[in-house]
Structure 1
Amino acid sequence: MQTHAWEQQLISLAHEALHSSPLDLHERKSLFDETALIDRAYDYCERLTANHSKSFFLASGLLPADKRRAVRALYAFCRISDDIIDNSSDYSETHLKAWRQRILTSHPSRNDPVALAWADTRANFNIPRRYAEQLLDGVTSDLVHDRYETFGELAQYCYGVASTVGLMAMHIVGFESNKAIPYAIKLGVALQLTNILRDVQEDWENGRLYLPREELRMFNLSEADIAAGTIDHRWRAFMRFQIRRARQL
């Protein structure tokens, strides 16, 4: 099976992250001696998950208790990171920087339940810190990039906002070898590409065009066609091409 250059690049990013460290045992002991505090932090993440995604809440309920609360802490981390961008304002970058510091610290505040639960989860399941950093890098890119020239550029964005989630979830659910990494990466890219294909109009109205401009030109499409909502043989051929790619991933 052919491996594309963008796939190799993303696999390298994932393996690079494996060499970064989760919380060490000394940090973990100093943080999490207060069981009641940690339990309350996980309870907060559980409520947040239930309020924002009933489907994920129900699906995660099938996991063993320790993994169930861990994936809900992961969901809470991702949900807040995403919401900072979606509720965009002139202060989004400031808010994201502050959130990055809070969520990646080895010593979260007692009054920051998501940061507490996420730090405990990272320690319990040896989740590389770099995966969380890569997710935050991907989310941050929405503040500075609203166009992508090539699919390789788009794939790197998809890795940041989607594949990293799967890679972190792998550490919680469990995996037998690093051979699982490319599959997690491609699944994340495929899911994010599906979201992009579904939300073209909404993204355009928000000033963003995720579709690779190089590939739009291949089908004789332009940004003017996107703005006009053109649906013709060119657009259908372009969408078939993208859907086939997502399915093949």
Structure 2
Amino acid sequence: MEGKKVVFIEDSNDKENADGARGHLEAVGISRYKAGIYEKCVKRVLDVILSGLGLIVLSPAFLVIVISIKVDDPGPVLFTQKRVGKNKKYFKLHKFRSMKMATPHDVPTHMLDNPDQYITKVGTFMRRTSIDEIPQVFDIFVGNMSIIGPRPALWNQDVLIAERDKYNANDVKPGLTGWAQINGRDELEIPDKARLDGDYVKKISFLFDVKCFIGTIISVIKHDGIVEGGTGEIHKKEQK
């Protein structure tokens, strides 16, 4: 599906995907999105400079986090997942592992039954402060991500991928944070998240990226929009 426009086709014969729906993606054309000069050149230069500095400055913190994770729950320090990058090209996203080794892989948190049971003690703190996302600074440095952009979808989040295609949100690099992240984050339903990602694509500029960056700092401090299990967990509580 790389570089193509897609739609989600419901099919009860398909396995349930990461969005909790049964169906698959079908290509309906070719993407005609054209990036501007800022996105193609300036944004990448800023990503390299800032992520490079981040790797250097944050290296002492990396060591502390690594030790904390190892002591709390022995196992790999980093957690990798296959995600959807620019033009729907897959890449490996890196995070500090915040969940126990027994947690199902490639399953979104909102699809886990009682997700809190899988999160380690250190992981709870990391997720509340978004520290678990720090290794993605490396993903930015090598060019798989940008500092600002739509959060990268899991490879099997077909509904989200199709919704984002309506707004060309799969045609830009995914980001460490973005417009949707500071306007609801885990509390957003898929159509709303995709629409906000589309708003970002329309407004991509240096000033808008700065606005998203400052908004992210404020959101992290206030812990806005953080719901373990996302909308899936919210719906479960509403049903109860």
After TM superposition, the score normalised by the length of structure 1 is 0.28
Q: Which has the larger radius of gyration?
A: 1
More helix by share: 1
